[in-house]
Amino acid sequence: MAEEVVKFKVTIDGIPVEVDPGTTILNAARQIGGDIVPPAMCYYSKLEGTGGKCRTCLVKVSKGSEKDPRPMPKLVASCRTTVMDGMEVQNITSPDVVEARKGVVEMLLINHPLDCPVCDQAGECKLQDLGYEHGNEGTRYEFERRTFERIDIGDKIQLHMNRCILCYRCVYVANQLTEEREHGVLNRGDHSEISTFIEKALDHDFVGNVIDVCPVGALTDKTFRFKNRVWFTKPVDAHRNCPTCAGKVTLWYKGDEVLRVTGRKDEYGEVEDFICNTCRFETKHTSDWTLEEPTPVDHESVIGANHYLAFNPPSVIHENKKLQLANEEQLARTERLK
Amino acid sequence: MGRKLLLEHINEPGIQTFDVYRQKGGYRAVEKALKNMSPDDVVEEVKKSGLRGRGGAGFPTGMKWSFLAKPEGVSRYLVCNGDESEPGTFKDRYLMTHIPHALIEGMIVSSYALGTNTSYIYVRGEMMPQIRILERAIAETKAAGLLGKNILGTGYDLEIYVQPGGGAYICGEETALLESLEGKRGNPRIKPPFPAVAGLWGCPTVVNNVESIASVVPIINDGGEEYAKIGIERSTGTKLISAGGNVKNPGVYEIELGVPVEEFIYSDEYCGGIANGKRLKALVAGGSSVPILPANLICKTINSDARLMTYESLADGGFQTGTMMGSGGFIVFDEDQCIVRNTWNFTRFYHHESCGQCSPCREGTGWMEKVLYKIEHGQGTIADIDLLWDIQRKIEGNTICPLGDAAAWPVAAAIRHFRDEFEWHVLHSGESQSRNYGLAHYADPIKPVMQ
Amino acid sequence: MLSIQENQPVEFSAVLLEQFGEIVSRYPEGRQKAALLPILHLVQAEYGWLSTASMDKVAAYLHIQPIEVYEVATFYTMYFLRPQGKYMLEVCRTGPCCLVGAEKIMQHIEKRLGVKEGEVTTDGLFSWRGVECMAACGYGPVLQIGPEYTFYENLTEESVDELIDTLRNKAKQQA
């Protein structure tokens, strides 16, 4: 007889889903997919312990569980809150959540240099997406923005601390994928910065993954620096027999030339497998690789030639004036795209 | 004269030494608990006493203790939070300096109740002299056989160590404190799990304030019910209040909960009134994080009841017209103080102390400081006041730990109650640089609210 | 940020190492990282500040990565990452102390020492800075001086002058 598998029923923005116990609200939402998935800037499912910091994934738990239906008193970080059976969660159907998220996006941007025109991450930047989807058009911040000295961390990785949102993902990469961590978060508060403190090149086999996990343009591939805009390059999935890593990558072509190699990312920007530095930085000839197929590109991405997706919320939002008002900017975006 | 439980013998010469403390009846609670009571009995007494956490949150201590997970074969820890750094609060410094053995005795009884064999007292690093005092007290107690192996022949072993901090307000937050104790940056942890399940080194841990732990001693000596007789309703026992700012007699006072606020400010037994014959303008009743109140809401609540020094009465009226007991940091402002400047100062403090992990606090506290600086220095606009209100709203409730709330509340309360002083700063930008707004109408009697 | 470059080699004395050992013994096996904060206090008391070389030594002693030490040393405000004056006057600048005149005391110290906040006097004797609440609000204005963190309360301009003179004489006698 097969063992009975216990599943928890959760409802997110009115859409029910059954998930394994221990699943977070965010991952339950990802199982549903679409516009009700909270954005996540610091959580990374393949790095243990990440999440909870950026606060963009805040949601409202309007019913704690079947057993204890009391709502949670505050908004919670969906990436670090596990579901209970019968839990009801509101994301874009809660004006409070939409409002709070707008606040978080504004906070993340007040000290950001907004140098997208010269940033290599532009076009695949999660902060750009976030600003576009949840932010205000203008800023209310009128003070000088925080700046840091640019620190060289080796000849392969470029650190632009000004752009960093302190998601800590790169610190977890060094902790979990390399034998010794040489960079970390120094100072505190809004002076916090990613740094090596002493001049040092990061050169562990897997440390190049800090580039892939960085949601913004703080850590970029120096071998790709200013080579091209990502939307002019063509991503192709490829593999090779690599002694160090799985060797499954995406090659970014311009004409016949491989400009850059990255891990294969899913729609949430997470790589399928972490790749080694040799694959990433030193294997840039087509002859090194077995090509598979053009990488499927998310329609929302500019890499897919400006196919921005319309906002497609659950129908309850279209029926409710208050919720329409809360999602005003997101709905207006759909209008603009028409 | 109210009863003194913690500071009864404070004026006794030599009370900081083991011998004098013992002579005055010290360590009776250790004997009673270890010889005649089971650990659960001790927890039960503390529950009966109604003691609420004295560090700020006011969570019932006995209940907190009963949450401690007790898996077989896993060490448990008691950590005393002596990171006192809430502006306005200096009671723990006083207690540790003058009667260190009250804390050590409380630590032994509490550790016994929780079944820990190693306990730590985390003291902020700036209190190096207090750390030395506590270490000396621990050595004395150990030499007397009340600490160490097989205490009083009961078979109970306990070691207590003092751990210095490194200078960070955030380490007063219990999970940041545990991180710091583990030798890391004081970044608050994301909860759950709570320390009662996974605390120090992942083991079940209770974190209690210095005063809470010291209060366990009279509770065990006299019984929880006796302790609960002091005070009003759910505010039982005595509380140390740190009185500072513009009062005639600043200092630490032990009060029976329930003393009227008016009596506490004006009676010679306590603060002795406002310094230099000035008038009262505002009060922060429980440390810089709690809402500031204008003079007309301090001694009487909005319903014209006398406001008392209890958790409930201070909170009467919610954040609209009330405040909080907090950690008992009682800061009095006289008519010459500028609320805008003080709010700017407090916000600078929170900006400086934000750990920087989560975005609303990291970015928002600095932003508020800059806007407040602008207003205070005569460069602000009316829109800035609204902006400030909006920023604090975006921080409150959206952060990992309560520092975000602590930074937002003083700003919200200052604007709520003193908005015209902010507007005056904006509209009279020149004048505001050379004189203060003064008492204005803040002491005027409140019109009764008609329902 | 990058560290200050310095070339002085660091060798911990036997006395210091014994103290380190006692501190490490306070924690369970394998949890020696917990000794980091207290050990950094001892190292700073010995050398006056925390150089990269000294922090690396501490890392090696505790079997942790140097970056773990840098992260901690830069987080907490009590650790100095550059040399300071022999006497660092730390004046509380938070609300309650300001209600009783802390700002005036800081202005006076600045004038008296002739250096700005964070700078060192030319004779290397003094630095000063404003620090946040020291939990002594009833005795304000207050200042403290490490490494013993001796405490001076109810400051007036006169008492500050007196203190500076005393310290200056003390340094002269030691020289």
Percentage of chain A beyond pLDDT 90 is 71
What values do phi and psi take at A266, rounded to 5? -90, -175
Claim to verify: residue C94 and residue C57 sit in the same structural domain: no
Together in a domain, C69 and C24? yes
Chain B interface includes C99 (CB < 8 A): yes
**CATH of the structural domain B339-433, one choice from 3.40.50.720, 3.90.650.10, 1.20.1090.10, 1.20.1440.230:** 1.20.1440.230
A vs B, Cβ pairs < 8 A, gives 88
Among A148, A151, A185, select the one facing C71 at the smallest CB separation: A185
Angstroms from A275 CA to nearest CA on chain C = 24
Kindly identify which residue of chain C lies nearest to residue B354, measuring between CA atoms.
C75
* Assigned domain for C170 exists: yes
**B48, burial (CB in 10 Å: exposed 0-12, middle 13-18, buried 19+):** middle
In a domain, C67, yes or no: yes
Does C156 lie in the same domain as C92?
yes
Structural domain including C95 reads 87-174
**Which residues of chain B have a CB within 8 Å of the CB of A143?**
367, 370
pLDDT at B396 over 50: yes
Q: What is the CATH number of domain B238-334?
A: 3.10.20.600
The 3-class SS string of A117-177 reads HHCCCCCCCHHHHHHHHHCCCCCCCCCCCCCCCCEECCCCEEECHHHCCCCCHHHHHHHHH
Residue C67 touches partner A, C-beta closer than 8 Å: yes
Asked if residue C163 is part of any domain, the answer here is yes
Asked if the C-beta of C146 comes within 8 angstroms of chain B's C-beta atoms, the answer is yes
For residue A302, the model assigns a pLDDT of 64
Distances (CA, A) of C102 to A261, B45, B225, B341: 58, 44, 45, 13
Residue B119: pLDDT over 60: yes
Which among B438, B307, B321, B421 is positioned nearest to B375, based on CA atoms?
Answer: B421
Could you identify the residue written with the tokens 């007292």? B121
List chains touching A (3+ CB pairs under 8 A): B, C
Q: Do B245 and C139 touch (CB under 8 A)?
A: no
Interchain contact, C137 vs B165, CB within 8 Å: no
Q: Are residues C170 and C92 in the same domain?
A: yes
Three-state DSSP class for residue B25 = coil
Residue C120 pLDDT more than 50? yes
CA neighbor of B173 nearest in space, from B362, B403, B358: B403
| B359 to A189: CB separation less than 8 angstroms, yes or no | no
Q: Give C5's pLDDT tier (boundaries 50, 70, 90).
A: low
CATH class of B18-229: alpha beta
The answer on pLDDT for C6 being more than 80 is: no
Chain B contact probe: residue of A104, A127, A164, A165 with most B CBs at under 10 A: A104
Structure tokens at C51: 């150089």
CB contact under 8 A, B90 and C150: no
Q: Is this prediction's pTM over 0.80? A: yes
**pLDDT (tens digit, 9 = 90+) per residue, B143-176?**
999 999 999 999 999 999 999 999 999 999 999 9
Integer Cα distance of B169 and C19 in angstroms: 27
Beta bridge partners of B251: B243
Domains of chain A by residue range: 8-106, 111-294
**Within 13 Å of residue B61, how many CA atoms lie on the same side as its CB?**
35
Fold of A8-106: Ubiquitin-like (UB roll) (3.10.20)
A4 CB neighbour count, 10 Å cutoff: 6
**Residue B442 pLDDT class (50, 70, 90 cuts):** very high
> Angle at CA A251, nearest 5°, toward A245 and A252?
145
Q: Which residues of C touch A184 (CB under 8 A)?
A: 67-68, 70-71
Residue C82 lies in a domain: no
Domain residue ranges of chain B, discontinuous segments joined by +: 18-229, 238-334, 339-433
> Does residue B9 have a pLDDT over 50?
yes
Compare CB distances from B355 to A107, A165, A189 and report the shortest one's residue.
A189
Least confident of A92-101, A123-132, B17-26, C105-114: A123-132
**CATH for C42:** 1.10.10.1590
> What size, in residues, is chain A?
338
In degrees and rounded to multiples of 5, residue A18 shows phi and psi of -105, 125
Q: Let me know whether C139 and C161 are in one domain.
A: yes
Distances in whole angstroms, Cα of residue B194 to Cα of each of A65, B177, B318: 19, 13, 27
Number of compact structural domains in chain C: 2
Q: How confident is residue C1, by pLDDT bands cut at 50, 70 and 90? A: low
Q: Which residues of B touch C36 (CB under 8 A)?
A: 183
C101 and C160 together in one domain? yes
Same domain, C138 and C162: yes
Indicate yes or no: CB of A189 within 8 angstroms of CB of B185. Answer: no
Instruction: Return the pLDDT at A326.
Output: 86
Q: Is the peptide bond before C141 cis (omega within 30 degrees of 0)?
A: yes
Are the beta carbons of A52 and B367 separated by less than 8 Å? no
pLDDT tens string B218-255 = 999 999 999 999 999 899 999 999 999 999 999 999 99
* Closest chain B residue by Cα to residue A75: B398
pLDDT of residue A306: 44
Residue among A55, A166, A187 minimizing CB distance to B398: A55
- For an interface test with A, give the residue of B190, B347, B351, B359 to mutate (most A CBs within 10 A): B359
Q: Is the Cβ of B44 closer than 8 Å to some Cβ of chain C?
A: no
CB A187 within 8 A of CB A161: no
In terms of domains, do C95 and C147 share one?
yes
- Do residues C92 and C70 both lie within one domain? no
| pLDDT score, position A301 | 66
* Residue-level pLDDT at A57: 96
Q: Is the pLDDT of residue C162 over 60?
A: yes
Same-domain check for residues C152 and C122: yes
* C18 and C66 fall within a common domain: yes
Cβ–Cβ of C75/B166 closer than 8 Å? yes
Q: Do C97 and C163 reside in the same domain of the chain?
A: yes
B165, B124 Cβ separation under 8 angstroms: yes
Distance CA A133, CA A56 (A): 12
Average pLDDT over residues B287-307: 94
Chains near C (3 or more Cβ pairs under 8 Å): A, B
Distance between A55 CA and the closest CA of chain B, angstroms: 7
Which residues contact residue A116 at a Cβ distance below 8 angstroms, ignoring those fewer than 6 apart? A122, A125, A128
**Strand, helix or coil for residue B164:** strand
pLDDT tens sequence across B46-59: 999 999 999 988 99
Question: Which residues of chain B from 340 to 369 reach within 8 Å of chain C, CB to CB?
Answer: 341-342, 345-346, 349, 352-353, 355
Parts of chain A with a pLDDT under 50: 305-307
8 Å CB contact between B259 and B316: no
